[in-house]
Amino acid sequence: MPEPRIHGREFVRTFFTTPTAEKGVEDSAKKLRKAIELRGMQAPDVWVPDNEDATAPNMRDEGAQNIAEVVAEGGAEFPGEIHPRVVWHRNDPEARYKGLQHMLEIADPDKGAVENIDGFVIPEVGDIDDWKKADEFITIVENEYGLEEGSLNMSVIIESGQAELAMGELRDEMGKPTNNLERLFLLVDGEVDYTKDMRAITPTGALPEWKELRHNTSRGASAAGLIAVDGPYDDIRDVDGYRQRITENSAMGMNGIWSLTPGQVEVANKEPLPPQEGSWLIDADGREVELTDEGDVQVYEGDRVSLEETDDGYVLTVGNDEQTLDEDELKQELVDLTSYVPSMDDIVDSMEEFEAAKEAGKGAIAMTRATTVRIDGVEVDIQSDRMWDEATYQALMTPVKLFKDVYENRPDQHEELAELYSEDVVERAMEVGE
Amino acid sequence: MPEPRIHGREFVRTFFTTPTAEKGVEDSAKKLRKAIELRGMQAPDVWVPDNEDATAPNMRDEGAQNIAEVVAEGGAEFPGEIHPRVVWHRNDPEARYKGLQHMLEIADPDKGAVENIDGFVIPEVGDIDDWKKADEFITIVENEYGLEEGSLNMSVIIESGQAELAMGELRDEMGKPTNNLERLFLLVDGEVDYTKDMRAITPTGALPEWKELRHNTSRGASAAGLIAVDGPYDDIRDVDGYRQRITENSAMGMNGIWSLTPGQVEVANKEPLPPQEGSWLIDADGREVELTDEGDVQVYEGDRVSLEETDDGYVLTVGNDEQTLDEDELKQELVDLTSYVPSMDDIVDSMEEFEAAKEAGKGAIAMTRATTVRIDGVEVDIQSDRMWDEATYQALMTPVKLFKDVYENRPDQHEELAELYSEDVVERAMEVGE
Amino acid sequence: MPEPRIHGREFVRTFFTTPTAEKGVEDSAKKLRKAIELRGMQAPDVWVPDNEDATAPNMRDEGAQNIAEVVAEGGAEFPGEIHPRVVWHRNDPEARYKGLQHMLEIADPDKGAVENIDGFVIPEVGDIDDWKKADEFITIVENEYGLEEGSLNMSVIIESGQAELAMGELRDEMGKPTNNLERLFLLVDGEVDYTKDMRAITPTGALPEWKELRHNTSRGASAAGLIAVDGPYDDIRDVDGYRQRITENSAMGMNGIWSLTPGQVEVANKEPLPPQEGSWLIDADGREVELTDEGDVQVYEGDRVSLEETDDGYVLTVGNDEQTLDEDELKQELVDLTSYVPSMDDIVDSMEEFEAAKEAGKGAIAMTRATTVRIDGVEVDIQSDRMWDEATYQALMTPVKLFKDVYENRPDQHEELAELYSEDVVERAMEVGE
């Protein structure tokens, strides 16, 4: 009984923005032309020709024309969805009217782009009545051009306290006869403008983490059948930081993120997928360190954790903390310190094991993880159990569902997926839970 | 002016679930029969015969019969409240209708159980209109069997973003003429299904912490006069982790927790009560360590903090940080590093002291904590004050109120409470604040 | 397009409470008389003669008279706004009626105080309908005395789950024809009573952090054009802790805090302003340490980080972690470990640089920070870039806006501001962004 999603994509990993028009270059649409050629892991799930912040104000009329032209030419072959961002502001009717004009320009059937435009992205929305104004303009565009009402999606950038609160009202508002808010698709956080709107100050000017905003966006998406996407990660060279942000977001149920470059797209397309190889981690005095896989044994090679066998038992030292332990205590301590990151293969194995147990009439089974850990030459066998019931099975199915959604919607990534995993694993993943 | 609670219990420490029917054993109701015999600290405040996730789908009809039979036999003697969980799902009318049928089965007066059924637990609720559907079915059950409307409580499992949002609307909805939502009792988090509903992914498959959910559940309970309960803690052997979760929950105002075993019930029944003995803690480089009580002196015996007296003053080392301090600076530093966990006796003393000051016409008084700390043989007298006013007094009364609620509602625990505390402390605690 | 604020002050740094009447002293209004004489950095932005918790219940009638008398005498010269707190409780009609009587007493034009009373502070509010009751009483006071409806502000103390939820409804309720909720001004957290209302328990009795409450208060203020203020910081001697709380609050957009003493007022008036001198920080194994500015070089003088040049490159040790790095890796590592806290002067420089770029037709520019860091005698040049666009510019303008708001509204602080910064910096700050 999953919540029904109302759109083709169940998941969106990547939201990639491109300036629509640049001054002082021969072809003002050059960046758009380059972006629409992206394929495979470098192509985003959602591509956003950005006729708002990424484009200078006085270039936006030209930008709207560029979008229509470039999408008319290359949109049919683009492997992701296309959702241009137009101008909008809850406090500025001029910006809103300009947004309508740009949507009319982009969606004009005479330009030949509209069949490959999946929707529009509306920034700077305010309370729910402001969202309805944008929805109404899209309805007008649809009506003007003979498109079905609701056929163009609407995604919003959450970058104000008002919009954060509005996400709590979506279930009450979507489905009312006087709007078409069922067209809603993505809820995208915009942390820089949100910081301005909240009037937050940090000593270094760094962005606050805004964990509550991200939780509320993820929850809003969950409650209304939409998809949550995090905002831009400015430090483009910091790939580790970007990965870490994606992992943190996923743990909140926010499975997509903004990408500013094809390099970021590639990272963010791959990161949410389960790894090819499982790995053991150890909490080495506050830092997660991967153990070295030597086949049957997992080896800790750092110097933050040390282990010595003595006449009475063992001495385990983590950072500055020394503990004298007997064998059982040592095993328990190592179970607590270690964790296992399952591979796609492992996940599918577990799913199949639980399904078999269910067929055999069991409601809950214990899943066992066992290995041998070696620290400073001392080897210890450890083992832990986890009880799985239907809810555990469902909850741990999410990464598999994400994989299936990608596989079904992005044929251009099949080759890279088959390289990442073996053909066999891909096949089993596509079948499990069906 | 506390918020009025609308039910007999002001606090619920423990919510213990038991499968209702198992296949392939002689007596399918064996676990129910065993659970209803629990007494004292092993008996929960709320017992939940679980005719949903803990019981295999094809055993649930028999489970409903088992509940009626077992509660008819042993319900009158059971010291806690009894709230069976029935099937329900916001997206599945079949599950909802099945839930109605099971409630009709369990509450049928001919079965003899209903006078000891305090209410029902409804899982997988969605938005507030979905809660009303469940409420309506309970009204129908009451009406069918000549019970007073609202006499059966309703507790819900919060395991979706929709339900999390619905908790913000309870004050607007309870008391409306077309529902009986005043029957609401517990708001119980269900983190595994919530993780599924939010589509959250963690690398190891571990549950996210969901702090915002727990805050919002506690707040929802506070605003609507209900009681907040945290979800199951899967790692049954990890007693320290379970205790820590309870402490963390209490700091959010979530004073109850799910228990999966009588052992967990015992831990969770005792943990929220103030300790018998007070203790001093020191923050030893990021870790809270208890000082050893040697009567007049509190001794630090580890090696994360060291102290040396020199010709010019003192050298205090915490982890890798060495500070040279004069006596006043040292005292201040130790005041900052230490804290005191008051015993029940201490709490009652402070309450009485403030009450006496109030009678003498003072609005605020300074409460002093003083002791001597010994580190590496060097003794230092430290002292700190805290201003108490009426609000402080009220806020710190919560653990005493919890104790009173337990004492009044759980005579079967009197003996164990008298063993934990002295008779004298129990008596004073029952009188303070009255 | 900033959110419009509906009051004279855009920012409120300080909310200073004073008891209104004390028993057993010659002049029961002595503390009020002393407080109203405060000027400059010791005078708060908002002064709150506190006729609720700070004053004994049987002294509050006299307290109301004292407020009227003292404000009549000295209110015109007081440099901040004056908002007395009266009694109120969502669960107690007697307290609410008493609150009305005290407001009628204080605002009586015959007493001569009302022209210097800017509004009232209402504690212990509940859901939004309870806020409306207080609003209605203020309307009655205004009407009774021929004041314009809405001319008296209303600030509330958020100290219940109900009130926390009510902040989500302000945009729907303000502006309705049957209330004057546009008079709302400050949303002030009251964590002690909130802790009671949430029934939270901590082992030592320390207050929970209540981060979610503070986020929600800041968001509520942002959405409704109001100002968020944090509650009292009890440990008056702990100036560092108070500063840290202010910094943490600012990062949530909560730019004001309660002050219990003129000393706290002074700290809280200065802390949110950008520093006079910029400084470099290094993350020394989990602790932020300021580098010593030796002109061209920033020197690390502690022993948590060490650096050695070897034949193959460098060895950088942070805490227990040793890394062997080449020059580029070292530079990148130091860029990651360090950060820069800009001075007011630096901030104005950056603003002007971006404005110039904008005029030259650029939408985004890279801002560079460069310095030389010296650790253990080894010097390394580091440099990092940050992309600025319009949103970055707007978000980083907040401290400048705060400065301007202070400068415009608090002429009594001009001298101290000119001492903190140079006249020249003050002048440039007042001009940037206009």
Is pLDDT above 60 for A2? Answer: no
Q: Does C399 touch chain A (CB under 8 A)?
A: yes
Q: Is residue B400 within a helix (H) or strand (E), and if so which, with residue range?
A: helix B398-409
Out of B200, B212, B238, name the one closest to residue A250 (CB). B200
Is pLDDT above 90 for B281? Answer: yes
Whether A361 and B206 lie within 8 Å, measured CB to CB: no
Closest CA relative to residue B13, chosen from B246, B241, B262: B246
**pLDDT confidence of residue B9:** 86
Contact between residue A142 and residue A96 where contact means Cβ atoms under 8 Å apart: no
Alpha-carbon distance B395 to nearest alpha carbon in chain C (angstroms) = 4
Alpha-carbon distance B73 to nearest alpha carbon in chain A (angstroms) = 27
- A352 Cβ contact list (under 8 Å, min separation 6): A428, A432
**pLDDT confidence of residue B362:** 76
Q: How far apart are CA B389 and CA B374, in angstroms?
A: 32
The pLDDT-based confidence of A3 (bands split at 50, 70, 90) is very low
Is pLDDT above 60 for B4? Answer: no
Out of C92, C196, C303, name the one closest to residue B398 (CB). C196
Both tokens of A160, joined, read: 């104000």
Instruction: Work out the end-to-end distance of chain A between its first and last CA atoms, rounded to an integer number of angstroms.
Output: 13
**Interval B84-130: pLDDT, tens:** 999 999 999 999 999 999 999 999 999 999 999 999 999 999 999 99
Out of A218, A281, A395, name the one closest to residue B192 (CB). A395
Whether B1 and C92 lie within 8 Å, measured CB to CB: yes
Please give the residue of chain C at the shortest CA–CA distance from B272. C201
> What 3-state class would DSSP assign to A17?
strand
Both tokens of C16, joined, read: 């200073």
Q: A-contacting residues of C 117-176, CB under 8 Å?
A: 168, 171
Both tokens of B220, joined, read: 């929802």
Contacts of C203 in chain B (CB under 8 A): 247, 341
> Which of A171, A248, A276 to probe by mutation at the B interface, max B CB count within 10 Å?
A171
Closest CA relative to residue B328, chosen from B289, B381, B281: B381
**Interval B361-415: pLDDT, tens:** 777 788 888 999 999 999 999 998 888 888 889 999 999 999 999 999 999 999 9
Residue for token pair 């970058």: A159
Contact between residue B157 and residue B196 where contact means Cβ atoms under 8 Å apart: no
Interhelix angle for C128-144 vs C93-107, to 10°? 30
Contact between residue B372 and residue B296 where contact means Cβ atoms under 8 Å apart: yes
Q: Does A202 touch chain C (CB under 8 A)?
A: yes
Q: How far apart are CA B326 and CA A178, in angstroms?
A: 73
Which stretches within C154-282 are classed as H helix?
A: 161-166, 170-173, 191-198, 211-224, 239-250, 262-270
Q: How far apart are CA A359 and CA A353, in angstroms?
A: 10
> What 3-state class would DSSP assign to B208?
coil
Neighbours of chain C (3+ CB pairs under 8 A): A, B
Contacts of B95 in chain A (CB under 8 A): 1
**Interval A137-161: pLDDT, tens:** 999 999 999 999 999 999 999 999 9
Alpha-carbon distance B426 to nearest alpha carbon in chain A (angstroms) = 38
Provide the pairing of β-strand C378-388 with A378-388: unpaired
Largest distance between two CA atoms of chain A: 86
Residue for token pair 């440990």: C235
Please give the residue of chain C at the shortest CA–CA distance from B254. C200
Q: A-contacting residues of C 217-246, CB under 8 Å?
A: 218-223
**Higher-confidence position of A341 and B8:** A341
DSSP 8-state class, residue B277: S
Contact between residue B341 and residue B275 where contact means Cβ atoms under 8 Å apart: yes
Out of C24, C90, C161, name the one closest to residue B222 (CB). C161
Q: Does A394 touch chain B (CB under 8 A)?
A: yes
Whether A162 and C394 lie within 8 Å, measured CB to CB: no
Q: Is residue A316 within a helix (H) or strand (E), and if so which, with residue range?
A: strand A314-318
- A217 Cβ contact list (under 8 Å, min separation 6): A158, A164, A167, A187, A189, A228, A254
| Catalytic residue annotation of A | 389
DSSP 8-state class, residue C169: G
Q: How far apart are CA C199 and CA C209, in angstroms?
A: 14
**Interval C51-92: pLDDT, tens:** 999 898 999 999 999 999 999 999 999 999 999 999 999 999
Q: Is residue C392 within a helix (H) or strand (E), and if so which, with residue range?
A: helix C390-396
Contacts of C53 in chain B (CB under 8 A): 363, 389-391
Quote the pTM value: 0.95
Whether C220 and A192 lie within 8 Å, measured CB to CB: no
**pLDDT confidence of residue C8:** 67
DSSP for A327-354? HHHHHHHHHHHEEEE--HHHHHHHHHHH
Is pLDDT above 60 for C389? Answer: yes
**pLDDT confidence of residue C6:** 46
Is pLDDT above 50 for B3? Answer: no
Whether B390 and C55 lie within 8 Å, measured CB to CB: no
The pLDDT-based confidence of B5 (bands split at 50, 70, 90) is very low
Is pLDDT above 80 for A7? Answer: no
Whether C223 and A162 lie within 8 Å, measured CB to CB: yes
Phi-psi category of residue A235: left, alpha or beta, with phi > 0 → left and psi -120 to 50 → alpha: beta
Is pLDDT above 90 for B194? Answer: yes
Alpha-carbon distance A377 to nearest alpha carbon in chain C (angstroms) = 21
C389 is catalytic: yes
Both tokens of B122, joined, read: 């409804």
Counting residues of chain C whose pLDDT is more than 90, the rounded percentage is 85
User: What mean pLDDT do residues A306-324 have?
Assistant: 91
The pLDDT-based confidence of A320 (bands split at 50, 70, 90) is confident
Q: Map out the domains of chain C with their CATH numbers.
A: 14-270 (3.20.20.60), 279-395 (no CATH)
The pLDDT-based confidence of A401 (bands split at 50, 70, 90) is very high
**pLDDT confidence of residue B235:** 83
**Interval A193-227: pLDDT, tens:** 999 999 999 999 999 999 999 999 999 999 999 99
DSSP 8-state class, residue A183: G
Beta bridge mates, B14: B257
Is pLDDT above 90 for B237? Answer: no
The pLDDT-based confidence of A8 (bands split at 50, 70, 90) is low
Contact between residue C66 and residue C102 where contact means Cβ atoms under 8 Å apart: no
> What 3-state class would DSSP assign to C80?
coil
Which stretches within B183-296 are classed as H helix?
A: 191-198, 211-224, 239-250, 262-270
Out of B281, B394, B398, name the one closest to residue C201 (CB). B398
DSSP for A73-114? HHGGG-SSEE--B----TT-HHHHHHHHHHHHHHH-GGGT-G
Is pLDDT above 70 for B1? Answer: no
Neighbours of chain B (3+ CB pairs under 8 A): A, C
**pLDDT confidence of residue C363:** 73
Q: Does B195 touch chain A (CB under 8 A)?
A: yes
> What 3-state class would DSSP assign to A403?
helix
Q: How far apart are CA B28 and CA B413, in angstroms?
A: 30
Contact between residue B48 and residue B83 where contact means Cβ atoms under 8 Å apart: yes
**Interval A419-432: pLDDT, tens:** 999 899 999 999 99
Alpha-carbon distance A173 to nearest alpha carbon in chain C (angstroms) = 14
User: What mean pLDDT do residues C234-259 have?
Assistant: 94
User: What mean pLDDT do residues B324-352 have?
Assistant: 94
Name the active-site residue from C238, C326, C385, C389. C389
**pLDDT confidence of residue C235:** 83
Q: Give the phi and the psi of residue B49 in degrees, each rounded to 5.
A: -60, 120
User: What mean pLDDT do residues B203-229 have?
Assistant: 97
**pLDDT confidence of residue C7:** 55
**How many pairs of residues across A and C have Cβ atoms under 8 Å apart?**
111
Contact between residue B154 and residue A355 where contact means Cβ atoms under 8 Å apart: no
- C113 Cβ contact list (under 8 Å, min separation 6): C67, C68, C69, C70, C71, C72, C75, C106, C107
- C410 Cβ contact list (under 8 Å, min separation 6): C45, C79, C80
Q: How far apart are CA B166 and CA B126, in angstroms?
A: 8
**Interval C364-374: pLDDT, tens:** 788 888 999 99
Q: Is residue A398 within a helix (H) or strand (E), and if so which, with residue range?
A: helix A398-409
Whether B247 and C168 lie within 8 Å, measured CB to CB: no
Is pLDDT above 60 for C377? Answer: yes
Q: Is residue A14 within a helix (H) or strand (E), and if so which, with residue range?
A: strand A14-19
The strand order across the sheet containing A314-318 reads: A305-309, A314-318, A321-325
Out of A218, A396, A399, name the one closest to residue B198 (CB). A218
Whether B234 and A387 lie within 8 Å, measured CB to CB: yes
Contact between residue A85 and residue A51 where contact means Cβ atoms under 8 Å apart: yes
Alpha-carbon distance B109 to nearest alpha carbon in chain C (angstroms) = 38
Whether B402 and C200 lie within 8 Å, measured CB to CB: no
Q: What is the 3-state secondary structure (H, E, C) of B145-195?
A: CCCCCCCCEEEEEECCHHHHHHHHHHHHHCCCCCCCHHHEEEEEECHHHHH
Whether C53 and B340 lie within 8 Å, measured CB to CB: no
Helices (H) and strands (E) in chain C, counts: 16, 18
Whether B208 and A252 lie within 8 Å, measured CB to CB: yes
Q: Give the phi and the psi of residue B266 in degrees, each rounded to 5.
A: -60, -45
Alpha-carbon distance C180 to nearest alpha carbon in chain B (angstroms) = 21
Whether B192 and A402 lie within 8 Å, measured CB to CB: no
Closest CA relative to residue C267, chosen from C41, C24, C31, C76: C41
Q: Counting beta carbons within 10 angstroms of the beta carbon of residue C376, is it exposed (0 to 12), middle (13 to 18) or buried (19 or more)?
A: middle
Which stretches within A108-204 are classed as H helix?
A: 128-144, 161-166, 170-173, 191-198
Whether A320 and B285 lie within 8 Å, measured CB to CB: yes
Q: How far apart are CA A64 and CA A49, in angstroms?
A: 9
**pLDDT confidence of residue A46:** 98
Beta bridge mates, B293: B298
Q: A-contacting residues of B 320-379, CB under 8 Å?
A: none
Please give the residue of chain C at the shortest CA–CA distance from B357. C56
Whether C200 and B387 lie within 8 Å, measured CB to CB: no
Neighbours of chain A (3+ CB pairs under 8 A): B, C
Q: Does A94 touch chain C (CB under 8 A)?
A: no
Q: How far apart are CA C192 and CA A301, in angstroms?
A: 49
Whether C168 and B168 lie within 8 Å, measured CB to CB: yes
Average pLDDT of chain B, as a whole number: 94
Q: C-contacting residues of A 38-77, CB under 8 Å?
A: 53-56, 58
Average pLDDT of chain C, as a whole number: 94
Is pLDDT above 50 for A4? Answer: no
